[in-house]
Amino acid sequence: MAPRIGVYVCHCGGNISEVVDIQKVMESLEGPVDVVQIKDHEHICSEVGQKLILNDIKENKLDRVVIAACSPQFQGITFMKTMEHAGLSPYVLEMANIREQCSWPHYDYPQEATKKAIDLTKMSLAKARLDIPLEKKVIPIGKRVLIIGGGIAGIQAALDLGDAGFQVYLVEKDPSIGGKMAQLSKTFPTEDCAACILSPKMADVPNNPNIKLMTSTEVKDISGYIGNYQVTVTRKALYVDPDKCTCCDKCVEACPVTVPNEYDEGLTTRKAIYLPSPIAVPHSYILDDKTCLGLFPLACSKCKEVCEPNAIDYDVYPTEEKFTVDTIIVATGFDIYDARQKRVYGLGKYENVFNALEMERMLAYAGEGKPLKDIGNRIAFIQCVGSRDEQVEHEYCSRVCCMYATKLACLLNRERPGKEIYIFYTDLRAYGKGFEEYYKRAQSEGIKYIRGRVAEILEDPKTKKLTLRAEDTLSRKIIESEFNTVVLSVGLIPNEGTRHVAGLLGLSRSQDGFLKEAHLKFRPVDTLIEGVFLAGTVQGPKDIPDSVAQAGAASSRAISLMNKGVYEAEPITAQIDESICIGCGMCADVCAYKAIEITVVDAHTGKKTAVVNEFLCKGCGTCAATCRSGAADVIGVSDHQISKMIEVM
């Protein structure tokens, strides 16, 4: 039976009709018997317009609708809903974009714009004839969430979801949660002590019955799709039973191995058996099997000998655990830029050059009255180290360095009066709530801000003092001055864990290497993978308030999906013609969503073909474009439809 198509041409209140000759467009479509009606409308997206469509579908028994109006990106959803109201599949609707693609760009050429509008509408008509009334696919969805990364964003998301009654798996690769925030001295602009505001939140995590905390654990594999993600994690061997350990510290005294302490950025040392940090959660000693004198073969065993509760067991091995979740929040955080790559600043070479995180640790100890070293009276901060720097291919602004340098400067200034502190900056960015006020306050406290990039640092080999050379670009003077200590305000960069997880889930990354959100403005915590969300600095540099806010947003997005109990997936997916497919696997290789597998489909002949997981497939069509023999195609946007569209042009 021939389809019954209704065509609507929209004036868009003059936006289209002032350029495109609507009458001509309508006349050009007359003729084919399956075009039951052609109408124009001032605003087809208005309520009146939608009612007109609804009514026509009923009266004229339309089973296809073509709307020549604006971009489907703009009003597509509106009209798809109209189709649903009328009891038709939203996938038998076609839109010809005669506004953004005709009247707007070809404003000065009305005749050509009209011609193009006719072509586009005819193409939509040709496609509509072959449209299939597809239905959305319904996937049941439960209430289990995996959160990868136990920094402040991961912790916040876990608490939000746990409190809302969802089952949370919080996976952290390090022995303690807390992330980078746990290393900070104080936080800008309020100067709250980082550990003081963070540790209660950290402590809440194991106390929440809905959160399963897995520290020293890495995600090994993730497969499946929304509502059915199969997760495999590797849990490292702990060697110390956290339930038995009383944190008596006797093992530490007994341990003969001394190594740099990561928590203090290597400024202090720890033993091979150690407490990760004073605020560690879970609060238990752990044994670092990479530096322990010998587990294989057992060579030392001094810690075990002194352990009274008998909490140490050397005979344990990494284990694998598998579980299923419905949604995933990625909160794998960031790394700091390795400033040793900027050789002119001499980090790692000069004794008194530090990166900002090292200064955070030094100040944390100074706050406790145990300064790690004398940092002298003249201190310089160099901003934008590894940020806004095309030389190191980090063109982005790391957003937090201006304020953390201001904070560190204020803290140093107040720690012992009589200091002279300079901040050499490119542009000062104090955009957040309370930031500008904080910056003003720092200036009033005597911190000197110099606009100019430091060209180089030279160290006096005897005194170890540092001479900085820079141009003050405001006064146009060359500054050459001596300092006791230089702090490099290092930028934030995507870390290895993020790369790993992005690979597992097939998440795309922005040009800066951070994970890419589905839409920068309207879907900032969603990804293009259904049911996977981003929280915190994994999506791009941000400060603590923004990370916490984003964690809340990610939780709420996950909750709104899971609370419905079912998820409706788009039916536009790839399909494979098994009679043509020869199983070469090229489509599986190019699939960004890992939606295709090469599978034996006939056990008797051993025939292998590509098989599409329709829940993972996004209908992007890369497979269809790749397939040499045309076996892969996209339902709803088939090769046949596209060739018919080209034919009528």
Partner 1 sequence: MDLQTKLRQEARKLLEEKLVDVVIGYEDEGAPLRTTPCFITDPQDVDRLVWNPFCDHNLARYLTARKDKAAVVAKGCDTRAIVVLINENQIERKNVNILGMPCGGIVDRKKIYNHLKNGDVREAVLKDKVITVKGLEFTADLMVDDFLADCCLSCRHRNPVLCDVQIGENLPPLDVKDEYKKIKQLEESTSEERWEYFRKTLSKCIRCYACREACPLCYCQQCFTDQNFPAWVGKTTDISDTIVFHIMRAFHTTGRCVDCGACERSCPNNVDIRMLTKKIAKDVKELFGDEAGLQLEEKAPLSFYNEDDPQDFIK
Contacts with partner 1, residue ranges (CB under 8 A): 579-586, 589-590, 598, 606, 608, 626, 628-631, 639-640, 642-643
Residue 75: CB minimum distance to partner 1, A: 30
Strand-pair partners of 519: 523
In angstroms, the CA 410 to CA 441 distance is 9
Of 200 and 606, nearer to partner 1 (C-beta) is: 606
Residue 628: CB minimum distance to partner 1, A: 5
Of 444 and 511, nearer to partner 1 (C-beta) is: 511
Residue 638: CB minimum distance to partner 1, A: 9
| Contact indicator for 154, 147 with CB cutoff of 8 Å | yes
Tell me the pairing of strands 378-385 and 420-425: parallel
Tokens of 123: 């193409």
Residue 506: CB minimum distance to partner 1, A: 12
Residue 596: CB minimum distance to partner 1, A: 12
Tell me the pairing of strands 319-325 and 228-235: antiparallel
**Which of 322, 334, 335, 281 shows the shortest CA–CA distance to 169?**
322
Residue 525: CB minimum distance to partner 1, A: 24
Compute how many other C-beta atoms are within 10 angstroms of the C-beta atom of residue 634: 22
Of 260 and 585, nearer to partner 1 (C-beta) is: 585
Tokens of 167: 């089952």
Of 455 and 625, nearer to partner 1 (C-beta) is: 625
Of 254 and 590, nearer to partner 1 (C-beta) is: 590
Of 344 and 625, nearer to partner 1 (C-beta) is: 625
Buried b (16+ CB within 10 A) or exposed e, 523-540: ebbbbbbbbbbbbbbbbb
Alpha helices, DSSP H, located in 338-473: 356-367, 401-415, 435-444
Is residue 98 helix, strand or coil?
coil
| Contact indicator for 429, 402 with CB cutoff of 8 Å | yes
In angstroms, the CA 103 to CA 207 distance is 61
Residue 511: CB minimum distance to partner 1, A: 9
**Which of 411, 269, 265, 410 shows the shortest CA–CA distance to 339?**
265
| Contact indicator for 307, 484 with CB cutoff of 8 Å | no
Of 373 and 640, nearer to partner 1 (C-beta) is: 640
What are the respective helix, strand and coil percentages of the chain, to the nearest 5? 30, 25, 40
Of 306 and 586, nearer to partner 1 (C-beta) is: 586
Of 318 and 630, nearer to partner 1 (C-beta) is: 630
Of 444 and 579, nearer to partner 1 (C-beta) is: 579
275 to each of 114, 139, 245, 249, 286, how far by Cα in Å? 74, 45, 11, 9, 6
Residue 392: CB minimum distance to partner 1, A: 15
Residue 632: CB minimum distance to partner 1, A: 12
Residue 536: CB minimum distance to partner 1, A: 22
Tell me the pairing of strands 596-602 and 532-534: unpaired
Of 128 and 645, nearer to partner 1 (C-beta) is: 645
In angstroms, the CA 274 to CA 280 distance is 11
Residue 173: CB minimum distance to partner 1, A: 23
**Which of 217, 489, 253 shows the shortest CA–CA distance to 356?**
489
Report, in angstroms and rounded to the nearest whole number, the Rg of the chain calculated over CA atoms: 31
